[in-house]
Structure 1
Amino acid sequence: MREAYPESKKSIEYKSQIKAVMFDLDDTLIHSTIDFMKLKRKTIDFYSSLGISPDTLFPNMKTHEILQKATSMLRKKGYTPREILCIVKKTSILWNQIELENISSTCPIEGAKKTLTTLKKQSYDVGVVTRSCRRYALKVLKLTGLLEFVDVIVARDDCEKDKPDPEPLVHAMKAVGSKAEETIMIGDSITDFLCSKNAGVRFIGVLHEDDGLKNLKRNMGVETIKDLRDLIDVLT
């Protein structure tokens, strides 16, 4: 739970200007069933087949870090921008397949439906900004009963760049007509935090047991909640 403090005038003004709430998807709104370790290993194997040494890419790296490093090394090997774009598209297809493997066992995060229901009753625009593919996002949101509360979805295949680049979040804001100062982003990772920061959007992290966000909270004062339902207290 969030600790209770007397509300300042600035806090009240902040609450009143928020119009849109954007969420990360995996492990923020739903319990992800994606085998991320398999996804990373398959990605490393794919780039190894293209001549990238597997000793330079590691499963403990984030997926976007693996992709950035691999494509950088392809450029150094003389691959053209067009060739690299084609390779990245093949990578995305590989990711799509793995993301869709275990959808049937996906379930919502505790309190997700109640939180989204309350936000819609209070006339907030609700968006989902995810690094997963659109087909996956639509399927899991429908399966978990959350799709009806979502006004906009921006997935990996909707933008040229992924989080932590601000492009997906900016795209979502444009879709609902909200400005950065009228938007709040909810996520469970440093990638979500950086995306929000790069877009000039306030961020609230949902803490998990093994989470780098704890270090951000400790060292940078990043606002966090332990339960998604606590978000309503932030906004009301």
Structure 2
Amino acid sequence: MGYEVKGIIFDMDNTLLQSRIDFGAMKRDIYSYLCSYRILPEGMSMDDHTTSTIIAEAMKTGLLTDELSLKMWDVAKKHEVQGMIGAKLEPGALELIQQLHGQLHLALVTNNAEEAALTALEENRIAHYFDLIIGREAMGFLKPAPDGYLEVLKNFQAISPQEWLSVGDAWVDGKASQDAGIPFIAYRGDITRMNSMGVFPLAEIQDLHGVLNYLQSRISN
């Protein structure tokens, strides 16, 4: 029998919330901004990059001053705020969170600004169910770096990484989880894309009720 699951870490966009953020446009706008200040070279291939990996590349150059960094995050926040307007929960999200509340520790890790995340979660009346909400302000590097998940572990030092379960839709969620030593299950994820990026989920689910099925299978094994 494996470790008992004591907590679940959720991604937010397209895992708990039906995000309308245009991540492609956000990535292009931030890359264009960074090129305009010669932080990054023009002509980089965007196919293997996300917004967070573009930002990570910029941070590694040492050219990103505090002022330039603030303006860069303003570009991201503009897209986040616009994409969060009227965002609704994924089917079954409320029922799942309500059922897990009080049974397991619940945390949320998002690359979004904490303010934008809290606003969306509060509008959908689920923010209060979480023991911990980690936005990008609490991370050194964004997902796919493991910083956000390591921050969760730091806040719950009595719980080992293997006693957590991570749920997300994107390869960056899985990569960050794996690198923090936390088991990952994919919700409506592109498994081929995940595998190509070195992410191999323990399980694949198509609806959020599948989280409960997975937990039940852990108990019965």
TM-score bin (small chain) = 0.7 to 0.9
1:69 to 45, 57, 62: 57
Tell me the matched-pair count: 214
- 1:207 and 1:214 in contact (8 A); partners too: no
| Helix, strand or coil at the partner of 2:128 | helix
Unpaired runs of 5+ residues, structure 1, are 1-9
- 1:40 and 1:59 in contact (8 A); partners too: no
Whose helix fraction is larger, Structure 1's or Structure 2's?
Answer: 1
- 1:180 and 1:199 in contact (8 A); partners too: yes
Superposed CA deviations along residues 17-43 of structure 1, whole A, max 9, x for unmatched, are 211100000001001111212211211
2:140 to 136, 155, 160: 160
1:88 alignment counterpart? 69
Matched, 1:118 2:99: yes
- 1:41 and 1:59 in contact (8 A); partners too: no
| Helix, strand or coil at the partner of 1:164 | coil
Which range moved further: 107-116 or 170-179? 170-179
Superposed CA deviations along residues 63-96 of structure 1, whole A, max 9, x for unmatched, are 1222233444x45xxx3xxx44543333222211
Unpaired runs of 5+ residues, structure 2, are 217-221
| Helix, strand or coil at the partner of 1:102 | helix
TM-score normalised by length of structure 1: 0.81
Matched, 1:56 2:44: yes
- 2:19 and 2:83 in contact (8 A); partners too: no
Q: How does 1:181-196 map to 2 (within 5 A)?
A: 181-196=162-177
Considering only CA atoms, is the larger Rg found in Structure 1 or Structure 2?
A: 1
Percent identity between the two aligned chains: 22
Matched, 1:44 2:24: no
TM-score normalised by length of structure 2: 0.86
- 1:152 and 1:176 in contact (8 A); partners too: no
Q: Measure the CA separation in 2 of the matches of 1:147 and 1:19.
A: 19
Q: Measure the CA separation in 1 of the matches of 2:131 and 2:210.
A: 21
Paired AA for residue 150 in structure 2: V
1:6 alignment counterpart? none
